[in-house]
Amino acid sequence: MEPSKEKLKPKNVFGYVLILIGLLVIAFSAKIVFPGLERLIGIEAIVGKENVVYQSDGSCIYTNPTAMLKWITSVAILGMVICTTGIWLSGIRLKFPARK
C-alpha cells in the first residue's frame, strides 16, 4: 500500500484558517474582542446609555452586566459558527465506530 499523497486545496487551507480564527475569537472574546467591539460600537450601544455611569477621572462603570454577558456570548457563538464553517470547508469528518 502506498501512502496517500493528498495536496492541500485552497478551500481546505481556507477552512483551516477559519478554524483558527474561530477558536481565537472564542478564546479571546471577553479579553480582546469585546473591548474592541466596545471601542468600535460604543459602550452606550452595548449596555444602554442609561446603564453607563461616567466617573470624574474619565473612566466609566457599567451597571448592566446582563447586557455585557449577552454581547460576549454572542461574540463567542459567532466564533463557534466561524469554526464550524471552517470544519465544513476543510473537509474534516468525524467517524464514529459502529455499534455492536
Q: Please say if the pLDDT value at position 6 is more than 70.
A: no
Q: How far is the CA of 4 from the CAs of 1, 7, 90, 96, 98, in angstroms?
A: 9, 9, 17, 22, 25
- Which residues are within 8 A (CB) of 48 and not within 5 positions of it... i.e. 6 or more apart? 64, 67
- Report pLDDT digits (tens) over 22-60: 999 888 877 887 778 888 888 888 888 888 888 999 888
The per-residue pLDDT for 4 is: 53
The pTM score is: 0.70
Comparing 39-43, 67-71, 93-97, the range with the smallest average pLDDT is 93-97
